[in-house]
């Protein structure tokens, strides 16, 4: 992949429009999780130090092309200013006279946040006229929102075709980590995939199998594979109608020399409650009233051994109902072991999508992994082998040096 970064760009006195993802959790008008704001700080700091004027654009929630006051980005500006240690101005629109006046009032090193892009229907429609309005007041475009790169919107694709376009620091970090893990990995490569449904991960599994040496499957989706093999899964969540699809995946893995590690033992209970009586049973020994809520200790040992033999780990999804102890044991054990190997310099560990970040945070090891993506849908689509429009737009700009 070829994409341009800001490393050798003359930024002094330039107006840089930066696509960030500030679609953050909010309660009573206050940001409750500033992870995505912190992710944008390296790019903002780089631009400020270089003497650029930084104009931030983002979506928030789903106003469906209408101005919805409760979905304003205004509260985000105050939170960002505290993190940045510098003022962040706010404009009540992202295009038109209001936006132009706010941009014209900027000075060297200033930061401005424009109002919610999705207040305009042209954003999600990737409308050329709307993209042109966004581009009118600026000199260059920076995409620092990998989490929105799977959407072909005016702010992720349209702008990249109108202005010299670059990847921001967080975008660069995501792309380099994913390339290292999926496109040019050090073998052996182990994948760990969990979650509740096979139906949402068929494309992901097929694409990963082409790149992996081993693939461990856990979570509720493993039940479908066990059922497809003829094992009883009791009252567990199971997509029985996808048994044939699961068998196809197993044959596909065999054809491409990817060893599947399915649960050999499981932790069962009648309810996913902390006080529920539990037992560990071999696969197929689940009673009619019991549900599988975690993989068993024997399965964990097999996964830990596979991690010891791997040079690269790609992880998506927990191995059990990790939110409810004691069904978090397998996920925590595997996460902590992978973190130890990573810290020792023996493993490149990349994780993301779904509840993966939350599971690694619960284990207290998210910062010890090589990279943990917060991109959600974009991370999953990348792992499925799909082209992300926002990334492809940057690739198309790779040989353009300015206009």
Residue with token string 């196809």? 248
109 as an active site residue: the answer is no
Q: Residue 112: which region, alpha, beta or left (left: phi > 0; alpha: psi -120 to 50)?
A: beta
Q: What does the block give as tokens for 211? A: 């790149």
Q: Which of 100, 132, 173, 197 is catalytic?
A: 197
CA 167 to chain centre: 16
Q: Using the structure block, give the residue that is written with the tokens 């109002």.
A: 115
Cα-Cα-Cα-Cα dihedral of 2, 152, 18, 148, to 10°? Answer: -90
Catalytic residue among 65, 109, 298, 377: 377
Judge whether 377 counts as a catalytic residue.
Answer: yes
- 354 an active-site residue? yes
Of 144, 111, 126, nearest to 19 by C-alpha is 144
Say if strands 348-352 and 371-373 run parallel, antiparallel, or are unpaired.
parallel
Phi/psi of residue 311, nearest 5 degrees:
-105, -20
Which residue is catalytic, options 220, 354, 376, 390? 354
CA gap 233, 286 in Å, rounded: 6
Tokens coding 122: 């042209």
36 catalytically annotated: yes
Active-site amino acid positions: 36, 197, 354, 377
């Amino acid at each position: 992949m070829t994409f341009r970064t800001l490393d050798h760009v003359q930024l002094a006195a330039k107006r840089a429009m930066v696509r960030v993802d500030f679609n953050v959790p909010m309660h009573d008008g206050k940001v409750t999780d500033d992870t995505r704001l912190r992710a944008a700080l390296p790019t903002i700091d780089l631009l400020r130090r270089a003497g650029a004027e930084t104009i931030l654009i983002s979506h928030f929630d789903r106003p469906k092309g209408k101005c919805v006051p409760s979905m304003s980005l205004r509260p985000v500006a105050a939170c960002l200013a505290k993190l940045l240690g510098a003022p962040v101005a706010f404009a009540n629109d992202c295009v038109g006279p209001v936006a132009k006046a706010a941009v014209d009032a900027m000075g060297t090193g200033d930061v401005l946040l424009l109002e919610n892009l999705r207040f305009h229907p042209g954003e999600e429609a990737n409308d050329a006229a709307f993209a042109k309005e966004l581009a009118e007041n600026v000199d260059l475009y920076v995409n620092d929102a990998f989490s929105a790169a799977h959407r072909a919107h005016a702010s992720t694709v349209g702008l990249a075709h109108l202005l010299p376009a670059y990847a921001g620091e967080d975008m660069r970090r995501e792309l380099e980590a994913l390339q290292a893990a999926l496109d040019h990995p050090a073998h052996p490569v182990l994948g760990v995939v969990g979650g509740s449904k096979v139906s949402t991960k068929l494309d992901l599994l097929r694409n990963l199998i082409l790149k992996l040496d081993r693939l461990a499957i856990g979570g509720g989706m493993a039940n479908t594979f066990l059922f497809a093999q003829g094992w009883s899964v009791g009252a567990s969540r199971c997509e029985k109608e996808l048994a044939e699809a699961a068998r196809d995946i197993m044959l596909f893995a065999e054809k491409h020399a990817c060893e599947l590690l399915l649960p050999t033992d499981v932790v069962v209970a009648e309810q996913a409650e902390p006080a529920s009586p539990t037992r560990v049973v071999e696969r197929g020994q689940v009673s009619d009233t019991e549900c599988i809520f975690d993989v068993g200790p024997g399965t964990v040992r097999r996964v830990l051994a596979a991690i010891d033999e791997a040079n690269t780990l790609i992880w998506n999804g927990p191995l059990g109902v990790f939110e409810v102890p004691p069904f978090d044991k397998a996920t925590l054990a595997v996460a902590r072991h992978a973190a130890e190997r990573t810290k020792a310099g023996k493993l490149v560990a990349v994780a993301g999508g779904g509840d993966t970040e939350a599971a690694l945070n619960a284990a207290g090891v998210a910062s010890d992994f090589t990279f943990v993506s917060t991109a959600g849908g974009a991370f999953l689509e990348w792992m499925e082998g799909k082209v992300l429009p926002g990334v492809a737009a940057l690739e198309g700009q790779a040989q353009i040096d300015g206009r």
